[in-house]
Structure 1
Amino acid sequence: MNIKILKKYFPLKRYGQNFLINNSIINNIIEKINPNIEQTLVEIGPGLAALTKPMCQILEELIVIEIDSNLLFLLKQELFYSKLIVFFQDALTFDYTKLFYKKNQLIRIFGNLPYNISTSLILFLFKHIAVIKDMNFMLQKEVAERLTASPGSKSYGRLSIIAQYYCSIKILLNVTPENFWPVPKVHSMFVNLTPHHHYPYFVYDVNFLSLVTNKAFQNRRKILRHSLKDLFSEIILIKLDINPRLRAENISIFQYCQLANYLYKKILKK
């Protein structure tokens, strides 16, 4: 897009917008997503249509969710606009499950996500995980590393556990700052999240997993005996074969699921 137009519609800081401008990267992303004309695809934040335009060259219909009226105005000037189903809405309030019932098929979600909402949005999408085929997002490198982190690493935390409980996650591309406008101060990664067909971990209620991980990582420098003392005694931790002197980042997803299930049963008995 013309730089004059870019300057006229300068990204609004509150939306955390950084637009992709490298065609080679864009084509690589489209190839990684591998869209099919028979699928229901949803783009979050089409922005300046870097991904939207090539997607519309493949698809007959593309659903887009955009909150910035300036960017929607620009989209309306494009020849491919007739192929779009546009929702002028916050992606954090959109009803993806309702869309699934309307289309009667699993939905594929993709987008170059604003850095300031990416974590909140991914956690929100997990609430609709049953209707999602896969998700492909451009994310801040730090967020991508948190999603894929293993126990014992500095990046490992609550997001790692919840995300890996729901999905198989792969980093598909590393993207340097100069491939965006405005140029961000951070590196990015393009990531695929595919919901598990058969969950590798079992919990009776994921809300308990959320509760336990939230409690554990609120004070990640504390050992479990202290950070989880309101939920589990030291004796119970030992009984579950979990060392009470370890910190939150040293506990596996399986062990957090054990803790969540113990708490579920305990409350159920009351």
Structure 2
Amino acid sequence: MTLQQNQLPSLKESITRYNLLAKKSLGQHFLLDPMINQQIIALAGDLTNKNVIEVGPGPGGLTRALLDSAAKKIIGVEVDQRALQLLHELQSFYPDRFQVVQHDALKLDLTTLCDAPRQIIANLPYNIGTSLLLGWLKQGLEWKRMTLMFQQEVAERICAAPNTEYYGRLSVIAQWVAECVIVKRIPPGAFSPPPKVYSAVINIIPKAEQPTPALFKAMEQVTAAAFGQRRKMLKGALKNIGGEQLLASANIDGTRRAETLTISEFDQLAHLHHNINAR
């Protein structure tokens, strides 16, 4: 480590200097415990020669753990003007490995920021985490892995199995294109300020075979209809998208409800819906 890096202020000193307090309106809960941040990085797998994008680095707790890893380059995407000064200070100590990008991640194609192989590692803002994930799932082949932190209930929804409380549209789409596993749960007290709920870290590893954009859209339409009125039987819920024909072709009983269908059965319905619309 160089003398310059030895002079890097502690995380607490940097937060105090820039008066960086988490904003509820931005869904911010800062994870400052260096041990937990290091554990998250370890759960992300071997980062050697990988480019890593971190969304919402805030004060840079997770960023510092990333800079201690074997990652080739770390790119922090931050929209909060208050955090940018702190992050630019951190960048000055690692000019060759850390880049700060001021942008709204919802409006940015992250794949344009660096070459493959690339990963996303992030403690996502609670208020936009699901929207961000759905966008990234459409780019499956672009990502080696995503290691993401959500509110625990959202994490449970992403990884839920059929016929369970949290199984829904997000479960189907995520597990259709990726392997999704909860790898760590984190208590509220680990954050500043503490949220009211536990958080959880998920490893999301895209599958080798990915749907075309048209097929992905078909799956979105099928799952939106199926779970939009989840207490309805499928023959009623899918009525507006030709449900009777879809269910008959897939040999699926129309009196079943959406939460009973497997990912494979939804895949069948999406393919049929796509093929009908392509005629």
Shorter-chain TM-score above 0.5: yes
Q: Are the structure 2 counterparts of residues 204 and 11 from structure 1 closer, same or farther at C-alpha, using a change threshold of 3 Å?
A: closer
Aligned identity (percent) is: 34
Q: Are the structure 2 counterparts of residues 206 and 60 from structure 1 closer, same or farther at C-alpha, using a change threshold of 3 Å?
A: closer
Equivalent position to 1:216, from 204, 226, 236:
226
Asked whether 1:165 is paired with 2:173, we answer no
1:247 equivalent in structure 2: 257
Structure 1 runs of 4+ with >4 Å offset: 201-204
* Contact 1:53–1:80 under 8 Å retained in 2: no
Provide Cα deviations, 1:162-186, integer angstroms capped at 9, x if missing partner: 1011110111101110010100001
What is the CA distance between 1:197 and its match in structure 2? 1.6
What is the CA distance between 1:60 and its match in structure 2? 5.4
Name the SS for the 1:225 alignment partner. Answer: helix
Asked whether 1:33 is paired with 2:44, we answer yes
What is the CA distance between 1:236 and its match in structure 2? 4.8
Distance in structure 1 (CA, Å) of the matches to 2:245 and 2:101: 53
Name the SS for the 2:134 alignment partner. Answer: helix
Equivalent position to 2:105, from 82, 91, 94:
91
2:74 equivalent in structure 1: 62
Taking only aligned residues, the RMSD between alpha carbons, in angstroms, comes to 2.3
What is the CA distance between 1:237 and its match in structure 2? 1.8
What is the CA distance between 1:61 and its match in structure 2? 2.9
2:8 equivalent in structure 1: none
1:52 equivalent in structure 2: 63
* Contact 1:118–1:139 under 8 Å retained in 2: yes
* Contact 1:203–1:261 under 8 Å retained in 2: no
* Contact 1:173–1:191 under 8 Å retained in 2: yes
Distance in structure 2 (CA, Å) of the matches to 1:151 and 1:20: 32
Structure 1 residue ranges without an equivalent (≥5): none
Distance in structure 2 (CA, Å) of the matches to 1:36 and 1:235: 47
- Does 54-63 or 24-33 show the bigger shift? 54-63
Name the SS for the 1:2 alignment partner. Answer: helix
Structure 2 residue ranges without an equivalent (≥5): 1-10
What is the CA distance between 1:21 and its match in structure 2? 2.3
* Contact 2:34–2:65 under 8 Å retained in 1: no
Q: Which amino acid aligns with 2:106?
A: L
TM-score (norm 2): 0.87
Pairing of 1:146-185 with structure 2 (within 5 A): 146-185=157-196
Equivalent position to 1:137, from 121, 130, 148:
148
* Contact 2:232–2:257 under 8 Å retained in 1: yes
Distance in structure 2 (CA, Å) of the matches to 1:7 and 1:85: 19
Distance in structure 1 (CA, Å) of the matches to 2:21 and 2:148: 22
